[in-house]
Amino acid sequence: MTMFSVGTKIASTLGVASIALEAHDIAKRNSKKSMAQASVDKFVSDQIGGMKLNEDSAKHGAIKKFFQNLDITDRFLEVGGAVGGYLSGAGKCLKNNIFTVGFGALGMFAKSKPVQVIALAGMGISILFDTIVNATNIFEKTDYLDK
């Protein structure tokens, strides 16, 4: 195994690992937001449902009030929101970095030097493009007063 081959595998592994760490971080934040949103949606739904009566009845009103404050399914919905948010956040990150992951995986498993060069160049270009588009304001409109 040549030094170029070892360097390619190390660079590719580091590139894929950086995307995996970023995906985990984004997924954790998205999970917390989705869990909170599920809890809020359930609370609002319970409050609206508890205010509506089909008929004017004190008995039915008391039963609705009881179910409104029962909160049996709240924890299930929060956990579902957290899991769904985590998967959504990880998927969004992987979708945005698909070329880096693809070229990184190619570099990790490439045997020939031309394929390794293509993998390194592709991964480098995709990381550079991602950095320019997402970490700078080069392509963003910054002066909203001009048309």
For the stretch 3-58, pLDDT in tens is: 999 999 999 999 999 999 999 999 999 999 999 999 899 888 888 877 777 778 88
pTM: 0.79
Of the chain, the percentage scoring pLDDT greater than 70 comes to 99
**What does the H/E/C string look like for 89-100?**
HHHHHHHHCHHH
What confidence score (pLDDT) does residue 5 get? 92
Which pLDDT does position 66 carry in this prediction?
82
The overall average pLDDT reported for the chain is 89
Q: Is 82 exposed, middle or buried (0-12, 13-18, 19+ CB in 10 A)?
A: buried
pLDDT reading at 89 higher than 70:
yes
Rounded to an integer, the average pLDDT of 68-78 is 82
| 131 three-state secondary structure | helix
Contact 107, 11 (CB under 8 A): yes
Grouping H, G, I as helix, E, B as strand and the rest as coil, residue 38 is helix
- Mean of pLDDT values over 62-70: 80
Say which residues have a Cβ less than 8 Å from residue 120's Cβ, sequence separation at least 6.
8, 11, 12, 103, 107
**Through-space distance between the first and last CA atoms of the chain, rounded to whole angstroms:** 57
Q: How confident is the model at residue 147, as a pLDDT?
A: 61
The predicted pLDDT at position 146 comes to 66
pLDDT class for 124, splitting at 50, 70, 90?
very high
